[in-house]
Structure 1
């Protein structure tokens, strides 16, 4: 994650937006007040929100983690998704 000041971010905002979207680069923008922000693409933000939602249920998180471990160990089966 790149860190830059509010002033630099303001001067290069269009480029930051392009990079956040094209390269999925997050930017940590600092302020003298300490009220920092992070700039990420909408797609990356949506992905983070979905991941947090899926992992918010302990039972669902356990199933997902078990499935990941099964695939990583080579004993899982990949399947095509059915069209809705």
Structure 2
């Protein structure tokens, strides 16, 4: 993850926004005088993060998803056609 100072971000805001949305790589924004840092990310990445957080919020659902991923990685998945 890249890091930029608040001042550098202000000078290069348009280019940084273009980069964040194209590369899907968040940028940590540092600030002076011990103020907390922030993160700049694309809306698409934020929506994905929020969906993942929602799905993993329930311990039962998180366990089910982890088991499903493990099964797929072990080759236990199958391909099916979806009806339109």
Output the TM-score relative to the length of structure 2.
0.91
State the partner residue of 2:21.
21
Match of 2:43 in 1: 42
How many corresponding residue pairs?
83
Which contiguous aligned blocks of 4+ residues in structure 1 show a shift greater than 6 angstroms? Answer: none
Q: Once superposed, what is the RMSD of the aligned Cα atoms?
A: 1.3
Secondary structure, counterpart of 1:28 in structure 2: strand
> 2:71 & 2:15 partners in 1: Cα distance?
41
Give 2:69's aligned residue.
68
Structure 1, unaligned runs of 5 or more: none
State the Cα distance separating 1:75 from its structure 2 match.
Answer: 1.3
